[in-house]
Structure 1
Amino acid sequence: MSPSSSGQRGLPETPPDPLPIDVVDNHVHLDITREGDEPFDVADAIARARAVGVTRLVQVGCDLDGIRFTMKAVEAHDELVGGIALHPNEVPRLTAAGQLEDAYAEVERSAAHERIRVIGETGLDYFRTGPEGVAVQQDGFRWHIDLAKRLGKALQIHDRDAHDDVLRILEEEGAPDRTVLHCFSGGLEMARECVERGYYLSFAGTVTFKNARNLRDALTAVPLDRLLVETDAPYLAPAPHRGATNASYLVPVTIRAMAGVLNIDVPALCRAVSENSERVYGPWGSRQPTHLA
């Protein structure tokens, strides 16, 4: 299927040049469709990504339907491992409906699966949830942190307009050994604090946006052994495709932009991202990463 026939808005007709060393898309939502788009064909999305050197993906489900989708997807596709949680905006909604405890029980049952490697995305979002939802969001964040530690899973954090409280709660609860700030949105000082604490920082297409100087400054503070890359697809397509439906096969655009900011060669960054991803999430089955010619 060509990009023009995929039913997704604004995807480039020509894919980017393949990366020299395979990498991981640290965070993708193959279950989510932007309004007006057709649903993704999962096998096609994986094949497009593999063709440009994005051979492994972390599929993230952050509501009950997304969690159930993720459980099926990771069993059907060796290229995927899963992350599951109740998104911070989902926790107040489930609380209001009297369904939170049952939802927690389903998350905990599902998270025990061997191919679920991540508890996330969890965290705080003060952009879409007003002050009345802050307390329950924070309680939900603490619950997920505890679950990740009890199950020995990595933690992926969603942080929108809540930097100080995210860092405070992680310190109060004690972060898991493998903690990832997904779609990092803080500045230079926050990046330095996260690095000092041993967290991993994952950068999305936002780092390529013209008005994102703060993210590029933050990127320069992160050592190679703490860097990850992601799409957050179908959102946050990198420039020059900003506003389009995002997809994992656009990761090379972000990787090359990051390498430019860091003034390092692309293979060095790819190698670091690949090694860091397997350090955080473990191997994707028995298959080893392929080094492209």
Structure 2
Amino acid sequence: MSKRGSGRHGEFPPPPEPLAVPVLDSHTHLDLMFETPPEAGGPRTVEDALAIAAAAGVDRLVQVGVDVASSRWGVDAAGKHRQIVATVALHPNEAPRLSDLDGALHEIDTLAADPRVRAIGETGLDTFRTGPEGFSAQEKSFRAHIEIAKRHGKALMIHDRDAHADVLRVLDDAGAPDTVVMHCFSGDAAFARECVARGFVLSFAGTVTFKSAADLKHAAAVTPVSHLLVETDAPYLTPMPYRGRPNASYLIPLTVRGLAEAAQTPVDELCAAISATGERIFGPW
């Protein structure tokens, strides 16, 4: 999701029933969550966000960068809080807006060397918000991020909106890193099979709980549990029954339970598998 502003309305939802087996939030934007108005309630500091999430059974967070400033913010937060690891990147929709794309990519490459940075992303392609005139810059940036991930030996976190075929085309052509995460997976069962065949991990957000998400549920059902992650993309994509309100890591239990139903896997078993996959991809916290 691209900066700036939460785009959410109303108050943060109440905490759900905690998970019995802890799990991670594989994709969140804490810096954006704190931009929600004070009247929305919810956590106002990193410490509060971590404590509230831990009480819900969410004990680890992946803080995701979308530009140079947010990437620096994430590296700093991960250095101060053991529960957080960071990713760094230029969001696909940022690339066409930059007057010095090469300079920004150099900054991301430099940040990628930090040991608290565990993935490069979110990067990829987005034809929903960026028109044809920006596509060449998006693809140039995407290819550069792939090389940064391979050079530093870190996972690649993909943003793919209305660009399934082109994302696979670029990854196949450039040569994907050993570890690829499809952030906020938005494809159907056929696309899920294509991704899993390449060894990719699919991260599901609150959208999997929506009534209109039949394709996502089918995708989850055909994906091996070992290839699943769960995320908030907070403050966006709040799961049902709170769709449209601000999201935060403490709401992961709602998404996990929806994903477990779709994947026909007991919740505790799914949480254990997700935690193991998270450690495999992002390393120890």
Same fold (TM over 0.5): yes
Q: Is the Cα–Cα contact under 8 Å of residues 31 and 61 in structure 1 kept in the other structure?
A: no
RMSD of the TM alignment (CA)? Answer: 1.5
Superposed displacement of residue 126, structure 1: 0.5
Residue of structure 2 in register with 1:246 after alignment: 247
Structure 1 residue runs without a partner (length 5+)? 1-6, 285-293
Residue of structure 2 in register with 1:30 after alignment: 30
Partners of 2:10 and 2:250 lie apart in 1 by 15
Partners of 1:188 and 1:167 lie apart in 2 by 15
Q: Is the Cα–Cα contact under 8 Å of residues 50 and 249 in structure 1 kept in the other structure?
A: yes
Residue 84 of structure 2: which of 80, 86, 89 is its match? Answer: 80
Partners of 1:58 and 1:144 lie apart in 2 by 18
Q: 1:99-131: per-residue Cα shift (whole Å, max 9, x none)?
A: 212211111111100000010000001111110
Partners of 1:138 and 1:245 lie apart in 2 by 31
Q: Write out the 4+ residue segments of structure 1 that deviate beyond 3 Å after TM superposition.
A: 33-36
Q: Is the Cα–Cα contact under 8 Å of residues 9 and 37 in structure 1 kept in the other structure?
A: no
Superposed displacement of residue 16, structure 1: 1.1
Residue of structure 2 in register with 1:138 after alignment: 139
Superposed displacement of residue 270, structure 1: 0.4
Partners of 1:8 and 1:127 lie apart in 2 by 22
Structure 2 residue runs without a partner (length 5+)? 1-7
Matched-pair identity in %: 55
Partners of 1:189 and 1:257 lie apart in 2 by 20
> What pairs with 1:45-60 in structure 2 (closer than 5 Å)?
45-60=49-64
Q: Secondary structure at the match of 1:31?
A: helix
Partners of 1:216 and 1:8 lie apart in 2 by 26
Superposed displacement of residue 73, structure 1: 0.4
Partners of 1:37 and 1:86 lie apart in 2 by 26
Partners of 2:214 and 2:144 lie apart in 1 by 34
Partners of 2:111 and 2:10 lie apart in 1 by 33
Q: Is the Cα–Cα contact under 8 Å of residues 16 and 253 in structure 1 kept in the other structure?
A: yes
Q: Is the Cα–Cα contact under 8 Å of residues 16 and 253 in structure 2 kept in the other structure?
A: yes
Q: Is the Cα–Cα contact under 8 Å of residues 221 and 264 in structure 2 kept in the other structure?
A: no
Partners of 2:55 and 2:9 lie apart in 1 by 19
Residue of structure 1 in register with 2:174 after alignment: 173
Q: 1:18-58: per-residue Cα shift (whole Å, max 9, x none)?
A: 11111110000011148752484111111110011100000
Q: Secondary structure at the match of 1:121?
A: strand
Q: Secondary structure at the match of 2:10?
A: coil
One-letter amino acid of the structure 1 residue matched with residue 75 of structure 2 = M
Partners of 1:262 and 1:30 lie apart in 2 by 28
Equivalenced residue count is 274
> What pairs with 1:176-255 in structure 2 (closer than 5 Å)?
176-255=177-256
Partners of 1:268 and 1:253 lie apart in 2 by 15
Partners of 2:86 and 2:254 lie apart in 1 by 24
Q: 1:206-244: per-residue Cα shift (whole Å, max 9, x none)?
A: 000011111001111110110000000000000001001
Partners of 2:103 and 2:119 lie apart in 1 by 20
Superposed displacement of residue 63, structure 1: 0.9
One-letter amino acid of the structure 2 residue matched with residue 31 of structure 1 = D
1:11 aligns with 2:15: no
TM-score (norm 1): 0.91
Partners of 2:215 and 2:11 lie apart in 1 by 27
Partners of 1:263 and 1:183 lie apart in 2 by 19
Residue of structure 1 in register with 2:113 after alignment: 112
Partners of 1:85 and 1:146 lie apart in 2 by 12
